[in-house]
Each structure stands twice: as structure tokens, then as C-alpha cells.
């Protein structure tokens, strides 16, 4: 394995977070530059399952819009909403997408399979944008008590039955809990259901397992703050160069193409040939 070549290989990080300040943007760039990340899909969710007022949700998204202005060549936005107040949520998604964001971000205020989320899923399908939701199969009561509505693979599979055209991204394969269970639960879901490789749990074999169960076309590169570990688990995976290229770049490029977009920095002919 040529590690240096792997680090230089262009990458799109579909799961990143930033605030609308120069310091935060600089820190994000500094984490990704040494490992070849060309662009970051960023959101600013309200965590902890809190049902925050719409004004607060809007401020979070305004932070991302500022970051997009500060780093227009590197940062794409993902619009965070809380689906329960669906009229405000739909209006906010429309506002953010019209301002240039490329997707939607949900946290754990609602399970992705909850009917209350349906209007947001339908809008994402209509606008051909991906929807990334915080996820994991937690088993310990101490963890479930903190995140009772966290979504897992079976929830994504159920949501995809109702909304097969919506591009759903199960966040962080290694965000906690039984990652093998949650991946298996999505095996027969719509081909529009993806998983990203992020998460601080660096168990060996995660990426290979996801590719074996879902296919390389449904696995995306994301960091969620664990940049070195997320890059390393793909580089070290027993996969073909073509499969790694799909994870690092090709699948995200295909998702952007669905909405008529291209990556902020398309690869050069030389880079495409190397990949």
C-alpha cells in the first residue's frame, strides 16, 4: 500500500461540522489539507435531542452560510432542521438550498422512520439532495437513555421503503454501538441508502464489512471530526483501488450530479487517471 499516494488522492468529506468563523474554517482546512480533502459538506446541528425554536435552527444554518462565503472553494452546506414543525422545516430547507446548500442534516430529535420526518424526506427527493442523519445501533441502557430516538439501520430501511428516491446517509458507521447490526439492517434497502465511514470507533474491518454488505457504491467518506482515523480506515481496507476511489470521491460526485452540480474542485485528468 502506497500511503503517500493514498493521502494525496482527492477526497470529498460528506460529514463535517464548522461554525461561521475564520478560526473554525481554518481549523477544518488544517485537518483535511494533509490528507487530500478537497471539499467538506458541513452542518451545524443542535444536539442532545433538544427541540429548539426555529429561530435558533435558522441561526445555526446562517453560520454555515457564512462559512460557505468564507471558504467558497472548500465548503458546501448541509441544512439542519427539526422535522416536527414541518412547515418551518420545509421553508428552512428551501431557503438553505436556494442559498446554495447541497443537502439536509437531521440529528436525533426524531427517528428517520417517524412519519413526522416524511415531508422533509419527500422534499429532499424532490430537490434531489442527500439527507444525512445522526445514527447508530446503541444497546446499553446508559446510552439509549441519552439518545432514545437515535436512528439505526432498520429505521433507514423502513424510511427508504416509503421514500425510495430519497438519498439517505446513515452517519458514522463507527459512531457507537453494534455497527455490524446496523449495516446488515440496510442490506436490502433502496440503493439510495448510503453509510459514511466516520466515527471515533476504529474497529478493524468496518469499511470492508460495509462494502461487502452494501456494495462500494453505497459507502461514502466522512470524518465527523475523526479525520486521520476515517482516512486511515479506508486506506488500510482490503479493497480495490476502484472501490476506494468510489468511497473517497466517486459516490459523492454522483450525488452532486443528481442535482446538476459538480465538486468545487473537479479532479484533473491526471488525478482521475491515478484514481
Kindly report the number of other CB atoms within 10 A of residue 215's CB atom: 13
pLDDT of 156-169, one tens digit each?
A: 999 999 999 999 99
How many helices (H) does the chain have, and how many strands (E)? 13, 8
Tell me if residue 254 falls in helix, strand or coil: helix
Distance CA 107, CA 171 (A): 10
Q: Where are the domains of the chain?
A: 3-261
Residue 18 and residue 41 in contact, taking contact as beta carbons nearer than 8 Å:
no
Angle ∠(98,76,264) on CA atoms, nearest 5: 105
For the chain, helix, strand, coil in percent to 5 are 45, 15, 40
Does pLDDT of 73 surpass 80?
yes
At 169-202, the pLDDT tens digits run: 999 998 778 999 999 999 999 999 999 999 998 9
| Burial degree of 7 (CB within 10 A; 0-12, 13-18, 19+) | middle
C-alpha cell at 47: 444536539
pLDDT for res 132: 98
What value does the CA radius of gyration of the chain take, rounded to a whole number of Å?
17
Is pTM, for the whole model, over 0.85? yes
3-261 folds as TIM Barrel (3.20.20)
Amino acid at each position: 500500500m502506497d500511503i503517500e499516494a493514498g493521502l494525496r488522492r482527492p477526497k470529498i468529506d460528506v460529514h463535517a461540522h464548522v461554525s461561521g468563523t475564520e478560526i473554525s474554517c481554518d481549523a477544518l482546512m488544517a485537518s483535511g489539507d494533509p490528507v487530500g480533502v478537497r471539499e467538506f459538506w458541513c452542518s451545524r446541528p443542535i444536539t442532545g435531542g433538544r427541540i429548539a425554536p426555529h429561530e435558533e435552527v435558522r441561526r445555526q444554518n446562517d453560520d454555515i452560510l457564512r462559512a460557505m462565503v468564507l471558504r467558497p472553494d472548500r465548503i458546501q452546506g448541509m441544512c439542519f432542521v427539526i422535522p416536527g414543525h414541518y412547515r418551518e422545516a420545509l421553508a428552512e430547507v428551501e431557503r438553505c438550498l436556494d442559498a446554495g446548500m447541497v443537502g439536509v442534516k437531521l440529528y436525533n430529535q426524531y427517528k428517520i422512520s417517524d412519519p413526522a420526518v416524511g415531508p422533509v424526506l419527500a422534499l429532499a427527493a424532490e430537490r434531489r439532495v442527500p439527507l444525512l442523519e445522526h445514527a447508530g445501533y446503541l444497546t446499553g441502557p446508559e446510552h439509549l437513555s441519552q439518545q432514545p430516538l437515535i436512528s439505526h439501520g432498520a429505521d433507514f430501511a423502513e424510511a427508504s421503503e416509503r421514500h425510495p428516491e430519497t438519498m439517505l446517509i446513515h452517519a458514522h458507521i463507527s459512531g457507537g454501538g453494534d455497527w455490524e447490526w446496523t449495516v446488515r439492517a440496510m442490506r436490502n434497502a433502496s440503493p439510495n441508502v448510503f453509510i459514511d465511514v466516520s466515527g471515533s470507533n476504529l474497529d478493524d474491518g468496518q469499511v470492508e464489512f460495509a462494502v461487502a454488505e452494501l456494495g462500494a457504491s453505497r459507502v461514502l467518506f466522512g470524518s465527523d471530526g475523526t479525520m486521520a482515523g476515517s482516512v486511515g480506515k479506508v486506506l488500510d481496507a482490503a479493497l480495490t483501488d476502484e472501490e476506494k476511489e468510489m468511497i473517497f470521491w466517486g459516490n459523492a460526485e454522483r450525488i452532486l450530479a443528481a442535482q446538476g452540480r459538480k465538486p468545487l474542485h473537479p479532479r484533473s485528468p491526471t488525478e482521475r487517471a491515478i484514481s
